[in-house]
Amino acid sequence: MISLDSQKRQKIFDELERLHQRDFCFSSGHILGSMCTVPHPIAQKAYLQFLETNLGDPALCPGTKEIESRFIGFISKLLHAPKTSVGQIVSGGTEGNITAMWIAKQLSGKKEIILPQSAHFSFQKIASLMDMKLIEIPLKKEYVMDVAQLKKKISKRTAAVVGLAGSTELGTIDPIPQLSEICNDEHVFFHVDAAFGGFVIPFLKELHYTVPDFDFKLKGVTTISIDSHKMGYAAIPLGTLMIRKKQWLESISVESPYISIEKQAGILGTRSGAPVAAAYAVARYLGYKGYRNMVQSCMEVTQYAEQRITELGLALVMKPTMNVIGVKLKKPELVVKKLSEQGWQLNKVKRLSCIRLVLMPHITKQIIDEFIPVLQKTCEEVGEI
């Protein structure tokens, strides 16, 4: 006989399951527009193992704290961070950008952020939260920041310049080496938003793609944000903000009299060790070589999708830099809506009049083969082809 308690539990789980059934899942292969993916199986296991840990009070979990240090060590090496650097675990790209701009504001006492038109919308939040002013730099025809325009805008009011290493809309990379040089000469804080590209560009380089340098090898780069819950194959929420100088963390630290450490840096207080353990487990399991293979196969699928899409007579916004494709359309919103009605989830980019495909590790050539006829039929119906 089922006890009352287990009946109650069953009811709750039935309810959860019913609602979860409404969600789209990565394993269906039909999510073509997300920058996240199904966490690697090893991440799922590690995540559950660390559910009760709290890195906000590290004396309670010295083991998890050590995992965090080792994980930051992995990211440091990936990004060629100097010995003077420090890593701050964050919940993702938004918190990474907020934290970087917080440091820039504290160090400089200034309020202007110069950023490309393609910057992520998290900077709008930053402007509002920290009363900062955004100065947008137009893009060149290759959809990257116009360096000449940037030069003109740097002034004594500048708190930071932001460059993108993997834009949200198209996966483009700004001319980070030139930006780094300018910021270094002008003594201006230079944050690289590599939330998406941080786990892609280092491996594209190894695979002999022509991509610019974007990391701490460039002496003008002051901070880099990189997300494990995007191309790091780990579980949400996890990103890292790498900071060139450890002492800069002081500027965003407060005394924390009730917990096991004297000062706490950053935005969050209580924070789970589970996503950190998950990201570390994946990093250990895949290693740099595993990530390189993952990027290689994502790029193969990207090239395949690119070929199949152009064969339909559709045009791409530009030749993809990484595993992100923009398909130019007259009515991107309508196409996205119609594709969604047929179970395919893509994102529109209104500003560029295109739809965005992100070829994450869960997307295979077979999935592209399934998708192409649906895209073709939809585009024919709405008069795109």
List residues near ligand 0PR by CB under 6 A: 34-36, 92-94, 97, 120, 122, 164, 168, 193, 195-196, 227
Could you give the residue ranges of the DSSP H alpha helices within the chain?
4-20, 41-49, 62-78, 93-108, 122-130, 147-153, 176-186, 201-206, 274-311, 332-341, 365-381
Closest approach of ligand 0PR to the CB of residue 84, in Å = 25
C-alpha to C-alpha distances, 88 to 17, 71, 328, nearest whole angstrom: 35, 11, 38
Closest approach of ligand 0PR to the CB of residue 237, in Å = 7
Tokens of 142: 């290759």
| Angle 182-92-270 from CA coordinates, rounded to 5° | 125
Closest approach of ligand 0PR to the CB of residue 97, in Å = 6
Of 57 and 169, CB closest to ligand 0PR: 169
CA distance 154 to 60: 45
Closest approach of ligand 0PR to the CB of residue 29, in Å = 14
Of 143 and 196, CB closest to ligand 0PR: 196
Please report, to the nearest 10 degrees, the dihedral formed by the alpha carbons of residues 50, 56, 58, 61 taken in order.
-20
C-alpha to C-alpha distances, 291 to 217, 241, 297, nearest whole angstrom: 20, 19, 10
Of 308 and 348, CB closest to ligand 0PR: 348
Residue 351, H or E segment: none
Closest approach of ligand 0PR to the CB of residue 361, in Å = 14
Of 61 and 211, CB closest to ligand 0PR: 211
Of 98 and 150, CB closest to ligand 0PR: 98
Closest approach of ligand 0PR to the CB of residue 109, in Å = 25
Of 107 and 192, CB closest to ligand 0PR: 192
Q: Which amino acid is at 98?
A: I
Of 61 and 119, CB closest to ligand 0PR: 119
Neighbours of 66 (CB within 10 A): 12
C-alpha to C-alpha distances, 52 to 48, 93, 274, nearest whole angstrom: 9, 24, 8
Of 32 and 61, CB closest to ligand 0PR: 32
Closest approach of ligand 0PR to the CB of residue 102, in Å = 15
CA distance 320 to 322: 5
Closest approach of ligand 0PR to the CB of residue 173, in Å = 11
Chain-centroid distance, C-alpha 315: 26
